[in-house]
Structure 1
Amino acid sequence: MVHVVSETGGRKGKDYCILYNPQWAHLPHDLGKASLLQLRDWTASVLCSPPDLPAKGFSNQIPLVARGNCTFYEKVRLAQGGGARGLLIVSKETLVPPGGNKTQYDEIGIPVALLSHKDMLDIFKSFGRAVRVALYAPGEPMLDYNMVIIFVMAVGTVALGGYWAGSRDVRKRCMKHKRDDGPEKQEDEAVDVTPVMICVFVVMCCSMLVLLYYFYDQLVYVIIGIFCLSSSTGLYSCLSPLVQRLPLGRCRVPNNSLPYFHKRPRVSMLLLALLCLAVSVVWGVFRNEDQWAWILQDALGVAFCLYMLKTIRLPTFKSGNSIMVEVATGPSDSATHEKLPMVLKVPRLNASPLALCDRPFSLLGFGDILVPGLLAAYCHRFDIQVQSSRVYFVACTVAYGIGLLVTFMALALMQRGQPALLYLVPCTLVTSCALALWRRELGMFWTGSGFAKDVPQSPWAPPSADDPQPQKDSDTSLPRPPPGEELAKCPPPPEQPPEVSVPEETGAGAPPQEPVSPVGCTPEPTSLVGASA
């Protein structure tokens, strides 16, 4: 850091980022131990030869020179010979650490650092030409408090998305008989992940990364537009169940022949759609506002992840291959300086100077939430299938949290960005498989819907016309719920007469009775969610 103050007093000093190499000379970690020296504006020269030196040298000054025409060593050797106490090199290009070799490092005893041209203009505009500067290198905290916010958002999204996906799938099994004849769809259809879909997804992602590498400044706006549309859809999907329960806005649009509107949607749902679209548009317009735009981006990103976890479904555990898509943060020499929005971002909460020198945000990619979240959703559906009191879902969610903590520890130790899936995927996969192995359900957990094709019908299910004989006890290997328990989970639709009921008493000596269920809402054979009937 370079701390700048005006020689004439006035406004408070200000810090600017510089990039230096500690092998030239060490800087004090405390600003109080750094010497305030006069800054000499010598940017009209590149300081590459002795004639570039001023007549009286740089006695107890820190010269500010232009970058180019010679090596860093040649510049700093001339500055040191002229009596300078340090050297700042102004760069219009990307800042890089000023390098040299061991012999040059031993010869030079003053610090040399690079300052951006934009910061130089701000210094002279804010403080004038007569300024004093102090060079220092404050220590960085190992972790920032914003990691707590990222942890809560990530784990909360995985837990809520996985729980919602499993509960929604159970509801669909019970309401499978209902036709979509109403003015609104009851539920969006889930999309099962297949090997073909995975291959297409990988090819598309690789192609997009290559195109972004060569045409970033053009395609970044396409990605931003796609994010606005998809995130507004996700926000609508998350808020619509809440709005539907409100007593207001239940009236519907009049009869018409317009597309979609001919279904006569509720006015409240139209207003919700407009609100969600407006939120995404506001983010799109003000996306580069570092003060508050990150809140909208995180809200839209969480809604998008929840929508994807609810919609995309793993039919089997073996189809859940680890697919890591790196979210590019944009090249430093980009003409647009736009960033791809496919990340959760939280600003740094401590007083670290890294907010000036590096990205002032901590980032977590959507892929680090979606890929483990799909496994958490699968675990919840499997819990409901085998009636395991959500042990798989809880274990997978806890393992995700532990994996995220391991990622933060690696970030603190290595002091560089980490591929989070490198830690999240092993934690969630090993935990889920170990739990299934311990419960002796690894085969069922692995095969998923394929196992459902071989599962025999449970003895308490109503006999079908093709198989009138009840199942024998020795033919089933799954735990049997008490009679009537599965029926209790399948409520009759509201349009059915209230007198339809389920038998409440069955005993060992009672004659077998066929449960009565409205409109064919009968208990199904025990099978994994997503299996074909």
Structure 2
Amino acid sequence: MAVAAAALARLAAAFFLVAQCRSLLQAAGDYGMVHVVSEKGGPKGKDYCVLYNPQWAHLPHDLGKALRDWSASTLCSPPDLPAKGFSNQLPLVARGNCTFYEKVRLAQGSGARGLLVVSKEALVPPGGNKTQYDEIGIPVALLSYKDKLDIFKSFGGAVRAALYAPSEPMLDYNMIIIFVMAVGTVALGGYWAGSRDVKKYMKHKRDDGPEKQEDEAVDVTPVMICVFVVMCCCMLVLLYYFYDQLVYAIIGIFCLASSTGLYSCLSPVVQRLPFCKCRVPSNGLPYFHKRPQVRMLLLALFCVAVSVLWGVFRNEDQWAWVLQDALGIAFCLYMLKTIRLPTFKACTLLLMVLFIYDVFFVFITPFLTKSGNSIMVEVATGPSDSATHEKLPMVLKVPRLNSSPLALCDRPFSLLGFGDILVPGLLVAYCHRFDIQVQSSRVYFVACTIAYGIGLLVTFMALALMQRGQPALLYLVPCTLITSFALALWRRELGMFWMGSGFAGALTSTALTNLRLLLQKDLPQSPWAPAPAEGFQPPKDTDVPPSQQPPGEELGRSPTPEEPSLGLSAPAESGTEAPTRESVSPAGHTPEASGQPDTA
């Protein structure tokens, strides 16, 4: 029960995290830049974000036509104008209580080439009416008060500035990095999960103690899928209304889950190292009484330290994203190894339900909310009115490589949610397990992985064309499901592919039957064994002791310390001669070497 409870807890945590941000996000806005340099030729110039209304006047698209010079003034009435006016200058004025039209009309009348308004509050587009827009011919933009302080601190009082708005690129180069990370994680996780899970069919099942049992995969049932999707919906709605209260709990869960995932990914590598194999001394502590290896304890401390380091410096945009991506990839690999979809039917149910979930919360919820914003996008990027300004960490994030107003002002990172990796990755892992069961040279695994990459490229194209947040599962689910279904149909394996592990059980039973028939006919006898009877008659009584069971029944059972291993057994102490226990497969090899699944 303890093992089952732990497995269910891991599954709940996985779907709880999957419920969060799973969309690549990008938003268009009227953002521009002001490029500031010192007139004395000091430090290198720097760009700052401004928000402007193109209905006043458009900002130039290049620096060659950009506005020059800089001046500071308050501008709500004619007495605020300097004696010589703002000839060929860019005034920097305080927000004040007057309208934007009053400010920009005075600035334009005194020869200004543009107007910058400093605001201590959230930046909003400077508005007016159609008549005012037609009258004004210079641009007006808002600059944050924090940036104004940084400008004069960095460049001094004598500065030159240029307002400009370069064209936004359709896609940023960082999409290549996100594509490689996502496809690589799905391929590696699916391969690792499939190879690890199929070992129970390829080898004799052994009782390796509680440490091995706790690491076994969790089979997902349809009931569990429905229950956890409902939980996901509830959690997403709670985050939408109580974001500031729940965001720190999500960050804490991510730190714990990612450190566990990092340990799971690095432990096989550390265990192969030829040094530091010593164990802790005997003790009565809850975990240390098993005397774990010192190197595994050091690995655990390292993983916790990396997670804590990210938690402390998570808002350092220069480098913290690297740690977040590394921890996120490790977490995804761990979940792909832990959660297992046993049939293609379960895969289809899970992907279709989450497909509907994703589309609903991205495209339908804007019609249900007062603000008209998508619940998924609001939660994924963090509400604009959040007091904490924290972001949910369940995303891969890469900073934009192109210099653009959008990257500077609103979205400095491109995001891909963990759900867009985990959900299709579970199908890829299932395809790999099925490949090994039917010995299909991993054709299902490769095809599904390629389909995932194509679906991600389609997502990027939709993102560039629509210029709004996209539910990635809208494109990933059809690509992966249709590809897997079509391949199974073409290979005439759809029934076996749909039933999944049920087919593995049928294959195992067939192999065992063939093995018994071969043992009846061709089993070599020990020189000490008596002559066989007319034929091999397996006992009908299921309660026969193990020593009297036919050789085929002992293939799936590991030898106990009191029993000899497979092969020729020694004569008993009483002087009687024991028959041989030599297991032979139909091909003349051991079951493990021939690749036949085991029934145990």
TM bin (shorter chain): 0.7 to 0.9
Q: Alignment partner for residue 239 of structure 1, among 247, 266, 288?
A: 266
Give the superposition deviation at 1:274. Answer: 1.3
1:134 aligned to 2:153?
no
Cα distance in 2 for residues equivalent to 1:494 and 1:116: 75
Residues 315 and 57 (structure 1), Cα distance of their counterparts in 2 relative to 1, 3 Å cut:
same
Cα distance in 1 for residues equivalent to 2:308 and 2:452: 33
Q: Is the 8 A contact 2:108 2:114 kept in 1?
A: yes
1:302 aligned to 2:329?
yes
Q: Is the 8 A contact 2:86 2:111 kept in 1?
A: yes
Residues 219 and 97 (structure 1), Cα distance of their counterparts in 2 relative to 1, 3 Å cut:
same
Q: Is the 8 A contact 2:219 2:340 kept in 1?
A: yes
Instruction: Report which stretch shifted further, 150-159 or 437-446.
Output: 437-446
Residues 440 and 50 (structure 1), Cα distance of their counterparts in 2 relative to 1, 3 Å cut:
farther
Give the superposition deviation at 1:407. Answer: 1.8
Written as runs of structure 1 = structure 2, the 5 A alignment for 1:35-434 is: 35-42=67-74, 47=76, 57-67=85-95, 69=97, 71-175=99-203, 177-181=205-209, 184-185=211-212, 188-320=215-347, 321-322=350-351, 323=354, 326=376, 328-434=380-486
Cα distance in 2 for residues equivalent to 1:429 and 1:96: 44
Aligned to 1:441: 493
Cα distance in 2 for residues equivalent to 1:120 and 1:57: 22
* 1:121 counterpart letter in structure 2: L
Q: Is the 8 A contact 1:436 1:445 kept in 2?
A: yes
SS at match of 1:24: coil
Greater relative contact order (Cα < 8 A, sep 6+): 2
Give the superposition deviation at 1:499. Answer: 4.4
SS at match of 2:47: strand
* 1:271 counterpart letter in structure 2: L
Q: Is the 8 A contact 1:372 1:400 kept in 2?
A: yes
* 2:226 counterpart letter in structure 1: C
Kindly provide the CA deviation profile for residues 234-267 of structure 1, in whole angstroms up to 9, marking residues without a partner as x: 1111111111122212222232221122222222
Q: Is the 8 A contact 1:396 1:432 kept in 2?
A: yes
Cα distance in 1 for residues equivalent to 2:267 and 2:164: 54
SS at match of 1:328: helix
Residues 103 and 166 (structure 1), Cα distance of their counterparts in 2 relative to 1, 3 Å cut:
same
Residues 459 and 407 (structure 1), Cα distance of their counterparts in 2 relative to 1, 3 Å cut:
closer
Cα distance in 2 for residues equivalent to 1:494 and 1:431: 46
* 1:342 counterpart letter in structure 2: M
Cα distance in 2 for residues equivalent to 1:101 and 1:175: 77
TM-score, normalised to structure 1, is 0.82
The sequence identity of aligned pairs, in percent, is: 79
SS at match of 1:458: helix
Give the superposition deviation at 1:497. Answer: 4.4
Cα distance in 2 for residues equivalent to 1:504 and 1:456: 13
Residues 336 and 505 (structure 1), Cα distance of their counterparts in 2 relative to 1, 3 Å cut:
closer
SS at match of 1:433: helix
* 2:464 counterpart letter in structure 1: A
Please, what is the CA RMSD of the aligned residues?
3.4
Residues 69 and 116 (structure 1), Cα distance of their counterparts in 2 relative to 1, 3 Å cut:
same
Q: Is the 8 A contact 1:3 1:133 kept in 2?
A: yes
Residues 505 and 180 (structure 1), Cα distance of their counterparts in 2 relative to 1, 3 Å cut:
closer
Aligned to 1:19: 51
1:32 aligned to 2:32?
no
* 1:35 counterpart letter in structure 2: L
Instruction: Report which stretch shifted further, 451-460 or 334-343.
Output: 451-460
Instruction: Report which stretch shifted further, 494-503 or 338-347.
Output: 494-503
Residues 186 and 198 (structure 1), Cα distance of their counterparts in 2 relative to 1, 3 Å cut:
closer
Cα distance in 1 for residues equivalent to 2:504 and 2:139: 70
Kindly provide the CA deviation profile for residues 25-74 of structure 1, in whole angstroms up to 9, marking residues without a partner as x: 122222122231332332xx5x3x66665666544332223336454344
Cα distance in 2 for residues equivalent to 1:494 and 1:104: 92
Residues 346 and 522 (structure 1), Cα distance of their counterparts in 2 relative to 1, 3 Å cut:
closer
Q: Is the 8 A contact 1:89 1:113 kept in 2?
A: yes
Instruction: Report which stretch shifted further, 169-178 or 453-462.
Output: 453-462
Cα distance in 2 for residues equivalent to 1:498 and 1:236: 36
Give the superposition deviation at 1:195. Answer: 2.5
Cα distance in 1 for residues equivalent to 2:333 and 2:40: 57
SS at match of 2:142: strand
Q: Is the 8 A contact 1:37 1:60 kept in 2?
A: yes
SS at match of 1:203: helix
1:10 aligned to 2:62?
no
Cα distance in 2 for residues equivalent to 1:363 and 1:34: 32
Cα distance in 1 for residues equivalent to 2:182 and 2:287: 35
Residues 11 and 426 (structure 1), Cα distance of their counterparts in 2 relative to 1, 3 Å cut:
same
Q: Is the 8 A contact 1:39 1:133 kept in 2?
A: no
Residues 50 and 201 (structure 1), Cα distance of their counterparts in 2 relative to 1, 3 Å cut:
farther
Identify the structure with the greater helix proportion: 2
Cα distance in 2 for residues equivalent to 1:85 and 1:24: 13
Residues 228 and 176 (structure 1), Cα distance of their counterparts in 2 relative to 1, 3 Å cut:
farther
Give the superposition deviation at 1:451. Answer: 5.5
Cα distance in 1 for residues equivalent to 2:181 and 2:200: 28
TM-score, normalised to structure 2, is 0.74
Q: Is the 8 A contact 1:4 1:131 kept in 2?
A: yes
Q: Is the 8 A contact 1:67 1:89 kept in 2?
A: yes
